[in-house]
Each structure stands twice: as C-alpha cells, then as structure tokens.
C-alpha cells in the first residue's frame, strides 16, 4: 500500500513538473521573451534574409500571435528570439522547450500529434514535382530510373512512392540537408527532379538565377495540412494561439497576409512566388480546425 501511495505521489509530482514545464504563457510572461522556431528556406512560409532576420507567411502569423499574447498578458515589452530549426530537429526542440512556437512548414499528422500539438491549419499544401523546363519530364511515370531530390526529415517522397501512378517506378533518392540544398541538387544537375510542397518549390524557383529554367509538373502527390507547432499538453497556450489565428481568419486579415507573401514581390529579390491560395486553404480558413493529414486522406 505504501509503495502504491509513493508511486502515486511520484506520478503526481512528475505530472506537476510536466504541467509547469508546459505552461508556455507563464514562461513567456516570467521571462519577458518568447522563442520562435523558424526555417531558413521553407519558401514563402518561413525563410531567412540573413543577419538573423526571418520573414514569411508563418513568421508574420507567429509575430501577430505573440503580439496578442503580449497584450493579453499586460506586458509592456516582449523580446522575440528566433531559432533556426530543420526538418530533423524541429519536433525535439519544441518538446524540450528550446522553441515555444514553431513557424515553418510542418505537416500536421497523427504520428506527430503524439509528440507535439498543432494550431488550427493555416495552409493546405499540395506536394508536386519540380524539374528543369527542358527535361521533358511531365509526370510521375517519367521519373523511372531518375534521381529525385528530397529534404532529409520530410515526407514528400513517401507520397510519391505510395501514389497509385508511382507503382513500379524505380528512382534513386538524393537528400538535401534543407530545401535550398535540395533545390541546388536539381539546379546543378545532380538530381532530375525535386519533390516537395508546391509553395517551397515555387519559392525556390522564384529565387533561382533563371526562374524560367524550371517548372512544376505532374500529378498532385498529396494534400497536406501545414500548421504552426507548439508543445503538447498546454491547452492554455494552444487556445491563445488558436484564438489569435481564428480572429485573423474571421476578419479576412489572414488572406491579406497570404497575398503579401505569395502574390506580391517579396524580399530580398523582390520577385513573386505567384501561388494563389488553394481552395483547400480557403476552406481551412473558413472552418478552422486542427485535423491531421489522415483526415484529409479519407476524402
């Protein structure tokens, strides 16, 4: 009996420590700072301008979220710190508290929901194929025997292999450490195609020396809900994040922010990504939810 009571006490203490560790709002208020996880080359969602400056659709949304948190907490000042994350380390850095809110290009799926939480979906992605315009490649079938670039820690090539038209197609995967590196594999001829989220492909093409040398082709491989990532089991912070985003959606402001980053010239080269919001993205704004990828695949 004593052992059981001791076990219960230890479990309760552990739960208390975990709950305290996951009280992000308290952490932000007590420290006067918040740490934003950002990507260096996730297309117009999140990218670097150099010198520690990060911009993009999700970066701006997170900045607005944290401004709302600051206002609700009655803080005179909030110091926002930016930490670059990769596809491989983004989830561990959210879990261990290094990053309070991750503002990149992370797909919300059931497996990841076991480790982290996601805000309501702000972008619904279509996974596509980028090739050189003169390659003659227009479909999945033509990737047979080719080298296909993808970014380490991402899921895009899995969708290519699972696609019904990808059955029997044999290709060699070559890995880039980040999206810019993967695009370089295509640009330099070390890969024949780059499979990734359409907006990341479009963003990298827009920044290429000769954008007309590349095109996005083939079947849509997957439709994926992309969302801002936060720590699991922190309902107060999730509510604050969701409420901020829902207000932007209800007012129509989120569409203006999207237009700014995807349809207007953006720094540093003042080129346009030119990717209009998909119907799936508009539906996510009209009906805010945090459903994982698996719910989309049921349709």
Residue 50 belongs to domain with CATH number:
3.40.190.10
Q: Are residues 173 and 137 in the same domain?
A: yes
Question: Over its length of 299 residues, how does the chain's per-residue pLDDT go in tens digits?
Answer: 444 554 544 444 444 444 456 899 999 999 999 999 999 988 899 999 999 999 999 999 999 999 999 999 999 999 999 999 999 999 999 999 999 999 999 999 999 999 999 999 999 988 899 999 999 999 999 999 999 999 998 878 877 877 766 778 899 999 999 999 999 999 999 999 999 988 889 988 988 999 999 999 988 888 889 999 999 999 999 999 999 999 999 999 999 999 999 999 999 989 888 888 988 899 999 999 999 999 987 75
- Segment holding 250, helix H or strand E: helix 235-251
Q: Are residues 200 and 280 in the same domain?
A: no
C-alpha to C-alpha distance for 108 and 116, rounded to whole angstroms: 9
Q: In terms of DSSP bridges, do strands 229-231 and 33-38 run parallel, antiparallel, or are they unpaired?
A: unpaired
Give just the sign of the alpha carbon dihedral 34, 35, 37, 39.
positive
Residue 2: what pLDDT?
44
- Spatial strand order of the sheet with 229-231 comes to 79-84, 33-38, 101-102, 229-231, 116-118
Number of domains observed in the structure of the chain = 2
Q: Are residues 203 and 260 in the same domain?
A: no
Q: Are residues 63 and 98 in the same domain?
A: yes
Picking from 223, 251, 270, the residue at the C-terminal end of a domain is: 223
Residue 28: what pLDDT?
98
Rounded to 5 degrees, φ, ψ at 289 are -160, 165
Q: Are residues 150 and 274 in the same domain?
A: no
Buried b / exposed e over 88-107, threshold 16 CB at 10 Å, is ebbbebbeeeebbbbbbbbb
Domain limits for position 130: 126-223
**Closest CA relative to residue 278, chosen from 147, 146, 125, 175:** 125
Q: What is the pTM of this model?
A: 0.78
Picking from 198, 223, 248, the residue at the C-terminal end of a domain is: 223
């Amino acid at each position: 009996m004593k052992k059981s009571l001791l076990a219960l006490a230890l479990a309760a203490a552990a739960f208390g420590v975990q709950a305290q560790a996951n009280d992000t709002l308290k952490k932000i208020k007590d420290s006067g700072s918040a740490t934003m996880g950002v990507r260096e080359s996730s297309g117009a969602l999140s990218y670097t301008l150099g010198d520690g400056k990060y911009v993009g659709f999700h970066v701006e949304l997170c900045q607005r979220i944290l401004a709302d948190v600051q206002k609700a907490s009655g803080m005179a000042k909030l110091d926002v710190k930016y930490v670059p994350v990769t596809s491989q380390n983004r989830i561990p850095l959210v879990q261990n508290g290094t990053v309070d809110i991750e503002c990149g290009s992370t797909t919300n799926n059931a497996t990841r929901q076991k480790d982290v939480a996601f805000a309501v979906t702000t972008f619904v992605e279509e996974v596509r194929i980028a090739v050189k315009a003169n390659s003659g490649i227009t479909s999945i079938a033509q990737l047979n025997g080719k080298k296909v670039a993808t970014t380490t820690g991402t899921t895009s090539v899995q969708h290519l292999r699972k696609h019904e038209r990808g059955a029997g197609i044999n290709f060699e995967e070559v890995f880039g450490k980040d999206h810019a590196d993967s695009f370089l594999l295509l640009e330099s001829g070390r890969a024949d195609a780059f499979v990734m989220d359409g907006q990341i492909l479009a963003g990298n093409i827009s920044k290429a020396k000769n954008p007309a040398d590349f095109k996005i082709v083939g079947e849509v491989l997957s439709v994926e809900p992309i969302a801002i990532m936060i720590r699991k089991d922190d309902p107060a912070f999730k509510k604050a994040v969701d409420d901020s985003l829902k207000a932007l959606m209800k007012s129509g402001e989120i569409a203006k922010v999207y237009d700014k980053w995807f349809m207007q010239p953006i720094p540093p080269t003042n080129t346009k990504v030119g990717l209009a919001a998909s119907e799936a993205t508009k539906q996510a704004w009209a009906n805010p939810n945090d459903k994982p990828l698996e719910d989309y695949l049921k349709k």
